[in-house]
A = this chain, B = another copy of it.
Amino acid sequence: MQLPVHDPVALTRALVDLPSVSGQERALADAVEALLRDQHHLEVRRDGDAVVARTSLGRAERVVVAGHLDTVPVAGNLPSWTAAPGEGDDPAAGEVLWGRGTTDMKGGVAMALVAACTVAEPVRDVTYVFYDCEEVDSARNGLGRLARTMPDWLTADLAVLGEPTEGLVEGGCQGTLRVDVTLRGRAAHSARAWRGVNAVHAAHEVLARLAAYAPREPVVDGLRYHEGLQAVGIHGGIAGNVVPDACTVEVNHRFAPDRSPAEAYAHVQEVLAGLDVHLELTDEAAGARPGLDRPAARAFVEAVAPVTGQPPRAKLGWTDVARFAALGVPAVNFGPGDPQLAHADDERVPLAQLVSCADALVRWLRG
């Protein structure tokens, strides 16, 4: 198929209408690969259903522009359609493209493809990375695979990940970890409760500490982060007539990128110190510093400023920018679409944002 590479709106729509739920990205990867192989200024490689392409102009700096090709499952919202803004949208935003992947993140992929196809001589060398399986189990993540199979292709001074930010620059990302906090008691019939020890009752001290917790809001590389320590789940109980012998509070800690996962976990231990609890770390992912002090990043911020007129802000959720950070590459998130609509059945993106984000990226690469 022929993709309309000069029109971000038409291109986004074409990409959206090529369904690519995680694990089923082949057709879309084939189309992207064919498009990039037509661009004689690019060197192209294929790895599974990931496609990478780069210029080699000997520039002083190299940047990565990346996006994932997959989406979460379709929810009756394909093929795409254009319509008026939805509830909660800015009514002045004009027409909106609706459908699975419009926000997360084929608008961002289209932005990258427009730049790849229309900027033959960028002022900084560019590596474009389109990858598979971002929306599923981390072990299947295509960017993680590329980091193992062709790490030299990911080396750069800055990475721009086209995840939806409504055209803002969101720098770095916070780390995340999950801890199961388990309290132990002793079961007994609830009619003779004094023979037991109620593990659910004992959880009150854990919850009181979480409720009283005052999160840090540290400034890292000029951006203010906002941490959190939240019970995201609790369960306990055996039957309606039994004193529970166990209660588990699932805690999610979001931490700024000035702390490593180990430091963040030590902090959780400190918050719960002195309580008779068993902690089990079930999940952890490091954050990423924004790296906005790098020249390429400063230039990027200047180039995209007109899109929203707002300064960069910290990315609070975890994204694949952390995979670049792990490779020593500072990274920012920048793309069209409201991140709150990602995965939603009413996922959509304003057409104007598709255009302004692509324009900004092109402007930055042209210098």
Contact = CB atoms under 8 A, between A and B. Distances in A.
Interface string A132-143: 000000000000
Interface in A230-270: 230-244, 247, 249-250, 252, 254
Interface stretch (A115-123, A191-199, A355-363): A191-199
A3 interface: no
A316 B188 CA distance: 13
Interface stretch (A47-55, A77-85, A92-100, A205-213): A205-213
18 contacts: A191-B316, A192-B228, A192-B317, A193-B230, A198-B230, A200-B233, A201-B207, A201-B211, A202-B211, A204-B204, A204-B205, A231-B236, A232-B237, A232-B239, A233-B238, A233-B240, A234-B235, A234-B244
B232 A241 contact: yes
Q: Chain copies in the assembly?
A: 2
B317 A191 contact: yes
A239 B215 CA distance: 21
Contact of A252 (B228, B230, B241, B316): B241
A210 B189 CA distance: 16
Given A200-B231, A211-B202, A231-B244, A191 B254 contact: yes
Among the interface residues A200, A206, A241, A249, which one has the most CB atoms of the partner chain B within 10 A?
A200
A190 interface: yes
Interface residues of A, number: 48
A364 interface: no
Interface in A34-51: none
A200 to B, nearest CB: 4
A176 interface: yes
Given A190-B252, A191-B228, A316-B192, A178 B235 contact: no
Given A236-B233, A244-B233, A200 B207 contact: yes
A336 to B, nearest CB: 20
A201 B237 contact: no
Given A191-B316, A191-B317, A204-B208, A247 B232 contact: no
Contact of A254 (B190, B202, B211, B242): B190
